[in-house]
Amino acid sequence: MYRRYVLSVLVENRSGVLSRISGLITRRGFNIDSLTVAETENPAISRMTIVLHCDESVVEQMKKQLEKQVDVKEVAELVEHESVTREHVMVKVAATPENRMSVLSVAEIFRANIVDVAAEAMIIELTGESNKTEAFIETVRPFGILQVVRSGITGLERGAKVPGKDRKKEEASF
């Protein structure tokens, strides 16, 4: 079934890992919607969150290709309802003194924050699931969007389960 998949990938925090993993994905012809990467609680390990739209056979192949990478310690799929995903967006909206109040009320409905105000524009930030961030962008679009920056999706599995702790690839001793 063609849908959105979110993969959470634990990788060794080494130079070249990001380009290696993104290169792997693109050269096999898979299209990435978003990819985020940052250090985890263990500075030697980074977490990559990869979002893609594809069918099941493609995501299955991609998981296997990721799993066999030397730098990859764990690949988990973040399944809807069993995980929490968030995205951070900042939107620079054309907000003149005349329509500023309307923009503010939209921001309030979405519980977004105003982080910068200038004469002709304001920057609004919002964190939420991607359907919320997308709805927000669509709602402010009529005011005139000057710029949008999105962090890409990150996420965690719900509950006490910690993927990667129980099935960690054995660190080779040489």
User: Which residues of the shown chain bind other proteins in the complex (CB under 8 A)?
Assistant: 15-16, 19-20, 23-24, 27, 57, 60-61, 64-65, 67-68, 70, 172-174
Considering the complex, what minimum distance in angstroms separates the CB of residue 69 from other proteins? 8
Q: Is the Cβ of residue 66 or residue 93 nearer to other proteins in the bound state?
A: 66
Q: Is 105 helix (H, G, I), strand (E, B) or coil?
A: helix
Considering the complex, what minimum distance in angstroms separates the CB of residue 62 from other proteins? 9
CA distance 131 to 159: 22
Considering the complex, what minimum distance in angstroms separates the CB of residue 8 from other proteins? 19
Residue 86 backbone phi and psi in degrees, to 5: -140, 150
Q: Is 146 helix (H, G, I), strand (E, B) or coil?
A: strand
Q: Is the Cβ of residue 63 or residue 86 nearer to other proteins in the bound state?
A: 63
Q: Is the Cβ of residue 10 or residue 121 nearer to other proteins in the bound state?
A: 10
Considering the complex, what minimum distance in angstroms separates the CB of residue 163 from other proteins? 18
Q: Is the Cβ of residue 158 or residue 168 nearer to other proteins in the bound state?
A: 168
Identify the residue whose tokens are 């993104």.
Answer: 22
Task: Please state the length of the chain.
Answer: 174
Terminal-to-terminal C-alpha distance of the chain = 44
What does the angle CA 84 – CA 51 – CA 136 come to, to the nearest 5 degrees?
65
Q: Is the Cβ of residue 101 or residue 172 nearer to other proteins in the bound state?
A: 172
Q: Which residues contact 173 (CB under 8 A, 6 or more apart)?
A: none
Considering the complex, what minimum distance in angstroms separates the CB of residue 18 from other proteins? 11
Which sign, positive or negative, has the C-alpha torsion 41, 131, 36, 52? positive
